[in-house]
A and B are shown apart, each in its own frame.
Chain A
Amino acid sequence: MTSVSIRIAGANGDGVESSGALLMKVAARNGLHAFGYRGYQSIIRGGHVWYQIRISDSKLRSHGEGIDILIALNQDAITNQKSHLNSNAVIIYDPSKVKVNELDAAKFKLAAVPLLDIAIEVSGDPIMRNVVALGSALRFVGVDIAAFNDVLKKMFSRKGDKVVESNVKAAERGYNCAGVSTLYGIKGDGKQRYAMDGNTALSIGAYASGCKFYAAYPMTPASSILHWFASHEDKGVMPKQTEDEIAAINMTIGAASAGARAMCGTSGGGFSLMVEGLGLAGMVEAPIVVVESQRSGPSTGLPTKTEQADLLFVMHASQGEFPRIVVAPRSVEESFVIASNAFNLAERYQCPVVMMMDLFLSEHVETIDQPNLDAVTIDRGKIVTEQKEQGRFKRYLITDDGVSPRSLPGTKGLEFVAGSDEHDEVGDLVSDAFSGIDWAVDVRNKMHSKRMRKMETMLRNEKGMFVPHIDADGDYYLVTFGSTAGVAMEAVEILRSKGRRAGLISFNYIMPLDEEATRKALEGKKLINVEGNYTGQLAQVIRLNTGIKIDSHILRYDGEAFTGEWIASEAMKIMG
C-alpha cells in the first residue's frame, strides 16, 4: 500500500475545509481511496485550522501520522505544522506571504508557488489561490489534472462557464508551475466511490430505513446530522431544531409514540439533558433512536476534539432500570448499516437505542463503496390494529418475550394512556393510589420484569449481534470499540509488517452484551485495551460481564484522533 498525506493549513475563513472537501471528491471520483480529517477550534474567524487528506491505492482507516505534502496558507501553518512534517515532505507556499527560513531546506522540498499572483491573474479573486495550491499538490501526488478539472466542472457548472474556466485555469497553473513535479504516482482503480463522513452515512442510513423525524439542538459534533436533515427536508424528512435537548428527546418520544420513525442527536453535554427523557422512553416503551456523538469532556471540554469517554455514562444514564440498546459503529460504512438497523431494533423491542458516535467518526470523510441497499429491511415489530379479546386494550400485556402489542393513536378501539408512572397492562397507574398494596406490588413486579426481559429476548433473537468481532488473529489482541476499531486494524497491519503477530477484537453492539460469547472470544488471550478515554471504559464493561481483567492499556484522551502508527508504536512497548 502506498499512501500520501496532504495537509492544508491556514486560518478559519481561508477556505481550508472546502479545499479539503474538493480534494476528497477528486479522489473519490477517480478510483482512489482517501481519508480526510480536520483540526479546528471553536472560533469562526482566525485560529489555526487544518484539513488532512490521505490518498492511497487501497482502503484507508486513518488520516495517518505525519504530513507528506503541506499546503501552508499562512505563517502559522509553518510554525504549527513543522513538527508533523515527515522527512522529505513537500511544502507548497506562497513566497510573498509565507517565509520558510525556520525550516531546514535540506530536509524538505520547498515548492514556492506564487499562489496569490496566479489567483489574481486568472480570476481577480484571491480565494482562488487554494485551487492553485491543490493543482500543485495533485501534481506531486501524481493525479492527472484532467481528473481535477472534471470535479471543478461538476462543482461549479451552476455558477456559469466563467467561474468554471477560471477554476480550471487556476488548477492548471498550479499543476504546471515551475518546481512542481510528480513524486508519488498513486494510481486509482477507476471505480467511482462516495466521499462522506460518519454523520452523513448515519443520516442516509436512517433515511433509508424510513426515519421521518429528527430533533436536535445544535452541538458539535452532532450538528451536521441536523444540517443533513434540514437540507433534505424536500426529500420527505422533518428536521426539528428545538429549544434544548430536553425538548429534542421528548419530541422524539412523542413522534415515535404517534408512529413515525424518529431520532434525536447530540453530544455528551446535550445527552446529559436528555437523560430523564431516555428513562421516559424506557418506561412507556417508546421506540426512539438517540445519537450521542462524543467529544472531549467533561463539561464543555474540548468542543472540537474527539474522545470515547461517554460509554459507561450512556450505558447507565437515567434513574432506575430499563432495557436499552447501545451501539457504536466502527466505520463510516457501519454508521449507515447500524443506523438503518437501529430503528428495527427500537421497534422490535420497543426501547431506546443509543448510537455512540464520536467527533472522529462523525466528522472524518472517507471514500466508501456503495452501501448494500438490499440489506436495508424494515421491521416495525408488534404494531397491532385490532385486538381479539374483549375490554380495554392491553398495551403493556405481560408476555414471555417481554414485548407487548403496540397500537398507534388513530387506531379505533385500541386507545390507551402511556404512563411514565408504573402502570398495569392497560396502562392504568399503580403509583399514585395503590403502590404498596399487595396487588399493586405484584403488578410492579410483573411489569418491571416484563420490560427487563426484553434484554434477554434481544440476546436470544439477535444471534451473533451483541458479540465481539475477532477481526484478526494473533499472539496479542488489541481490544477496542466503535470508531477506534478501524484505526486499530491499521495498527495491526503495521505491527504485522514489523513481524509482530497482532490481532484485533472489536465491539459494535455493546449493550446488551452476550457474556458467554464475549468470554469465549477473550478468554486465554493476551489482550491490549485501546480506547479514547482515561479509565478504559470498555475494559470495565468486559470485566463486569465476564470477569476478565485486561491489564495492558493504550489510552488516549488528549483530544487528538488515534492513528495506526501511534497505536502500533504504543503496542510495541507492551509487546516488546
Chain B
Amino acid sequence: MMIMSDAQNANPAAKPRQVFTSGVKPIFCPGCGDFGVLAGLQKALQELGIEKERVVIVSGIGCSSSMPHPFSTYGVHSLHGRLLPVAAGVKLANNDLTVIGTGGDGDGYGIGVGHLIHTARRNIDLTYIIMNNEIYGLTTGQASPTSLVGAKTKTTPFGSIETPENPTGIALAAGATYVARAFSGDPMHMAQLIKGGIEHKGFAIIDVFSPCVTFNDLNTFDWFRKRVYKLEQVGHDSTSISAAMERSLEAEKTNWDKIPIGLFYKVDRPTYSDLDMTLKNGPLVKQPAPSKQQVLDILEEYK
C-alpha cells in the first residue's frame, strides 16, 4: 500500500485514478514475497491507466495463483499449470483485452513448462509474471523445478540432486520477445519491469524472485539481497539475445554468487494477433455469425 500512495504523490495523473482492489484479502503468509508482486502489479496497472474492465488476470494454482482475487479486474483462476493456454484463449478471442498471467514456479516451470515454450514461440501478446520461490508452498514445502542442488525440502530431505531449471534461458530459447527478472525485495524496480512487460507488444515473461518465508529457509530475502545486481547498472545490451543468454547463465556459473535482475532482452516482432488472418477483421468476439448465403457458399464446395 505504501508503494501505491508513493506513486500517487509522484504522479498526480490526469486520468481519474482507478481502484484495482476488490477488497479480497490475499492468502499470502505475513512477509511473503508475493505481497510485493501484488503491489507491483497494482502500481503498474494504475500507472498505465488501462480501464479495469479490459484487464483479465489469469492464474494457475498455488499460493501466488490466488493473485486475481485481490484485483477488481476480470480474472480466471484456472488449473495448475494451465494458465497460459487459458490466457492465450482469452487473448485470441478478444485482442482488445490486456491479459496478464500470474503463477508460481511449480505451475509455470514444472507442470506447465510445455505451454511456456509454445506460448513464447507464438509470441502471443501476454504478460506472464512468475513468482519464483524455489519451493512448493501451498502443498507445504516440496522441491520445485528451480530448487537449487542441495536444497533440503520435504521431498529432498538429503538435498536435491537435480539441476534447477533456467527460466530466463528457456524463455529466450523459446522465442519470448520480452524477458526480465525481478526481485520482490525491490518492488519499485519490479513494477517498472511489469509495466514494461504490459506495454510490450508480444509475449513478456517476468521471473520474480518472491521468497517463501515459511518453507524456504535457503533462498530468503537476505540471501537474494546479497546476490542480485541490476542489469541496467552494468551496461547490459538488452537488444542482444547472445548477451541476454550469457546473463541467464551467470547465476549458475558463479555458483549463485551473482544473480542479474532487470531487463534481459526485448525485441519487437509481430505478435500472433498481428499475423493471424482472422483477426484482420477485428477481435473474434466482435465478428458476427455467418449469413445464410455464406453457409450456402461453403456447402457449394461439397457438390
A370 lies within 8 A of B76 (CB): no
B89 lies within 8 A of A254 (CB): yes
Closest to B292 in A: A373
Least Cβ–Cβ distance between A520 and chain B, in angstroms: 37
**Contact residues in A for B57 (Cβ distance below 8 Å):** 417
Given contacts A236-B290, A411-B53, A412-B53, contact A246 B85 (CB under 8 A): yes
Closest to A25 in B: B303
**Contact residues in A for B292 (Cβ distance below 8 Å):** 373-374
A250 lies within 8 A of B289 (CB): no
Closest to B97 in A: A409
Say yes or no: is A110 at the interface (Cβ < 8 Å to chain B): no
B284 lies within 8 A of A212 (CB): yes
Closest to B76 in A: A418
Closest to B59 in A: A417
**Contact residues in A for B244 (Cβ distance below 8 Å):** none
**Contact residues in B for A29 (Cβ distance below 8 Å):** 303
B303 lies within 8 A of A409 (CB): no
**Contact residues in B for A259 (Cβ distance below 8 Å):** 93-94, 285
Given contacts A236-B287, A242-B118, A417-B69, contact A412 B89 (CB under 8 A): no
The 8 A CB mask of A216-246 against B (1 = contact, 0 = none) is 0000000000000000111111101011101
B295 lies within 8 A of A409 (CB): no
Least Cβ–Cβ distance between A18 and chain B, in angstroms: 15
**Contact residues in B for A251 (Cβ distance below 8 Å):** 85-86, 88-89, 92
A259 to B56, CA, bound (A): 13
- The stretch among A173-181, A276-284, A541-549 that forms the contact with chain B is A276-284
A200 lies within 8 A of B302 (CB): yes
A370 to B295, CA, bound (A): 11
A358 to B202, CA, bound (A): 39
Say yes or no: is A43 at the interface (Cβ < 8 Å to chain B): no
B53 lies within 8 A of A235 (CB): no
Say yes or no: is B278 at the interface (Cβ < 8 Å to chain A): yes
B85 lies within 8 A of A247 (CB): yes
Say yes or no: is A258 at the interface (Cβ < 8 Å to chain B): yes
The 8 A CB mask of B17-53 against A (1 = contact, 0 = none) is 0000010110100000000000000000000000111
**Contact residues in B for A242 (Cβ distance below 8 Å):** 85, 118
- A residues near B (Cβ < 8 Å) are 25, 28-29, 192-196, 200, 204, 207-210, 212-213, 215, 232-238, 240, 242-244, 246-248, 250-262, 276-277, 280, 284, 370-371, 373-374, 376, 378, 392, 408-421, 428-429, 432-433
What are 18 inter-chain pairs, A to B, with CB distance below 8 A?
A: A29-B303, A207-B295, A235-B294, A238-B284, A251-B89, A254-B76, A257-B76, A257-B86, A260-B285, A276-B79, A373-B295, A374-B292, A392-B22, A409-B56, A409-B90, A411-B53, A412-B51, A415-B73
With A247-B82, A251-B85, A413-B53 given, name 9 new contacts (CB 8 A). Answer: A235-B290, A242-B118, A247-B115, A262-B93, A408-B94, A410-B54, A411-B53, A412-B51, A417-B71
